[in-house]
Amino acid sequence: MVGRPLDLDAVWAFILIADHGSFTRAAEAMQTTQAAISLKLKRLEDRLGCRLVERTPRHVQLSARGLAFLEHARSLRVVHDRALTALSGARQRLTIGISEHVAGPELPALIARMNAQDPRLLMEIRIGSSGDLLQSYDRRELDAAIVRLHAGRDDGEMIAEERFGWFAAPHWQYRSDEPLPVATLAEPCGVRVMAGQSLDAAGIAWTEIFVGGGVAAVAAAVTAGLGVAALSPRMLPLGAVDVGDRLGLPPLPRLPILIHSRQPEGRPRDALATLSAAFRSAVRG
């Protein structure tokens, strides 16, 4: 005998805890309280007869049984959502802008994850600079924007902080009697500004050797051996190496990734929560 069915809200709370690594963020995604999330999880654990989540003062992580149950929980959620939308011909649209320096090689997998969660959600994703995307968001052309921290803005929610380093091709040799050749993105770009300010503060002479219209172009310049570039490890071209310590270059600060959203309801809200959690996991590596 199988027994009574699982509480789907409790299953969804468990998935959000796993994705966000936080009871607080799971509560925000469900628009409820942390106490309510804890109660839902306890109800699910009691029903399954095992502990799914281990909590420490600093971390929230899944137990071995929680990891084993997570895949089944996701499958249950997908089947449930498909059943709800099977008879509805209408598609909800979600338009998201993602910064060029944030959208990494994981983007196809993240889109697939959102689609698996809600196949009937029509997604439109635009890639651009943080500044341009925020202007589009302010004009209400975007439902959400995932960008780097932008000067003068304090209305975003931080998803993660990403580290950066100085990278070059393994065969590239620096001539110490010349300014450091740097490959950058075109203005406006927060990473470009950060790199320049860090070098100036360290008293290191530098010059732009290449200006790219996208991260892929900058990565190509690095691979070609034109110079160094400030990149996050997620964005590295094949074979690039960190040359910061060897050249005595200044350490680069971590840069926040933020989501600006008007808190849509229903399926779009759930999709954004999934995307935010997926980016957080990708940045953590």
pTM of the predicted structure, to 2 decimals: 0.64
Would you write out the chain's pLDDT as a tens digit for each of its 285 residues?
Answer: 356 788 888 988 898 888 777 888 788 777 788 889 999 999 999 988 889 998 776 678 888 898 889 888 888 877 776 676 666 555 677 788 988 778 877 778 777 777 776 777 788 889 888 888 888 989 988 888 888 876 667 778 888 888 889 999 988 888 878 899 999 887 777 788 888 899 999 899 999 989 887 788 888 899 988 989 998 888 887 788 898 888 889 999 888 888 888 765 566 777 777 777 777 777 765
Helix axes 34-48, 23-30, angle to 10 degrees: 100
Rounded to whole angstroms, the Cα distance separating 128 from 213 reads 10
pLDDT for the residue 274: 74
The DSSP line for 12-36 is HHHHHHHHHS-HHHHHHHHTS-HHH
Q: Are 48 and 5 in contact (CB under 8 A)?
A: no
Neighbours of 199 (CB within 10 A): 21
DSSP annotation of 176 = T
Pick from 253, 201, 195: nearest CA to 227: 195
Pick from 103, 80, 51: nearest CA to 216: 103
Rounded to whole angstroms, the Cα distance separating 265 from 262 reads 9
The tokens describing 73, both together, are 């929980």
pLDDT for the residue 52: 92
Long-range contacts of 214-223 (CB under 8 A, 24+ apart): 214/100, 214/185, 215/100, 215/101, 215/185, 218/183, 218/184, 218/185, 221/183, 222/167, 222/168, 222/169, 222/183, 223/169
The tokens describing 248, both together, are 């005595």
The tokens describing 90, both together, are 């209408």
> Per residue in 189-242, pLDDT tens?
778 888 889 999 989 999 998 988 778 888 889 998 898 999 888 888 778 889
